[in-house]
């Protein structure tokens, strides 16, 4: 079997369009995961044992169920309750919620690693609770966990093909459609594999640079 370069040039623009959808879904979903993960972490630290335990079990449930099942639920079941989302919006929401439970644990580890003396100093200075978190605790905690947070960004990118299950035409979806149309699978599937590798390597390099510049150990 030989490689058809002319055929590759014909479908490459569609592949790049699918790559754009994949990158958008990953970046927006990741931003949602970072924000929602912090919310989970703060709820886990709530003085109310009820709130803390409910949050813990919700997170465990999300982590214990497959991402694809969650995407199906958001896209196909939510409309039964009056909430209808487009494929891309549902995919972003699913990725964000699923990975937020992992970023929450990363935040929790970073916060636990903040020296006790920092907390005691804040108490001695009688700083407002908002300033304690905003100016003292979170800046130190986040810098400690930048490498792990970066790894989850790459992991989310590699999980993005699951969005094809809810009809999002990302990279895998475009490759599948092209293969079904032309009955050729070598070129489309190999191309998306190469694109995934290239983007993952570039992302890894960017995360490492960010780590060297801002992370602390």
Residue 163 has pLDDT above 70, yes or no: yes
Q: How confident is the model at residue 216 (pLDDT cuts 50, 70, 90)?
A: low
Residue 6 has pLDDT above 70, yes or no: yes
Looking at the chain, which runs of residues are DSSP E strands? Answer: none
- Residue 85 phi/psi, 5-degree rounding, is -120, 150
Query: What's the farthest any 2 CA atoms get from each other in the chain?
Result: 73
Q: What is the DSSP letter of 81?
A: G
Query: Is the Cβ–Cβ distance between 119 and 74 less than 8 Å?
Result: no
Rounded to the nearest 10°, the torsion over CA 133, 137, 139, 143 is -140
Q: What is the DSSP letter of 166?
A: G
CATH of domain 5-214: 1.10.3720.10
The mean pLDDT value of the chain amounts to 90
Query: Is the Cβ–Cβ distance between 203 and 154 less than 8 Å?
Result: yes
pLDDT digits (tens, 9 = 90+) for 100-110: 999 999 999 88
Distance of alpha carbon 45 from alpha carbon 114, whole angstroms: 15
Tell me whether residue 183 is exposed, middle or buried, using C-beta atoms within 10 angstroms of its C-beta: 0 to 12, 13 to 18, 19 or more. exposed
What mean pLDDT comes out for the span 134-162? 88
pLDDT digits (tens, 9 = 90+) for 24-75: 999 999 999 999 999 999 999 888 999 999 999 999 999 999 999 999 999 9
Q: What is the DSSP letter of 145?
A: T
What mean pLDDT comes out for the span 171-194? 90
- Per domain, the residue ranges of the chain are 5-214
Residue 132 has pLDDT above 60, yes or no: yes
DSSP character string of 171-188: HHHHHHHHHHHHS--HHH
Q: Sign of dihedral through CA atoms 37, 41, 42, 44? A: positive
Answer whether 0.75 is exceeded by the pTM: yes
């Amino acid at each position: 079997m030989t490689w058809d370069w002319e055929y590759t040039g014909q479908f490459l623009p569609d592949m790049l369009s699918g790559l754009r959808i994949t990158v958008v879904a990953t970046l927006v979903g990741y931003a949602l995961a970072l924000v929602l993960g912090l919310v989970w972490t703060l709820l886990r630290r709530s003085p109310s044992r009820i709130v803390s335990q409910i949050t813990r079990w919700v997170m465990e449930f999300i982590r214990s169920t497959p991402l694809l099942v969650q995407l199906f639920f958001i896209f196909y079941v939510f409309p039964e309750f009056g909430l209808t989302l487009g494929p891309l919006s549902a995919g972003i929401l699913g990725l964000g919620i699923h990975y937020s439970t992992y970023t929450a644990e990363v935040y929790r580890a970073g916060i636990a690693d903040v020296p006790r003396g920092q907390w005691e100093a804040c108490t001695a200075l009688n700083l407002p609770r908002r300033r304690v978190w905003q100016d003292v605790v979170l800046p130190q905690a986040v810098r400690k966990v930048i490498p792990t947070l970066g790894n989850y960004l790459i992991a989310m990118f590699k999980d993005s093909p699951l969005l094809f299950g809810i009809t999002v035409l990302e990279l895998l979806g475009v490759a599948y459609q092209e293969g079904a149309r032309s009955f050729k699978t070598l070129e489309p599937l190999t191309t998306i594999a190469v694109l995934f590798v290239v983007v993952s390597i570039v992302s890894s390099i960017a995360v490492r640079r960010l780590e060297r510049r801002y992370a602390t150990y």
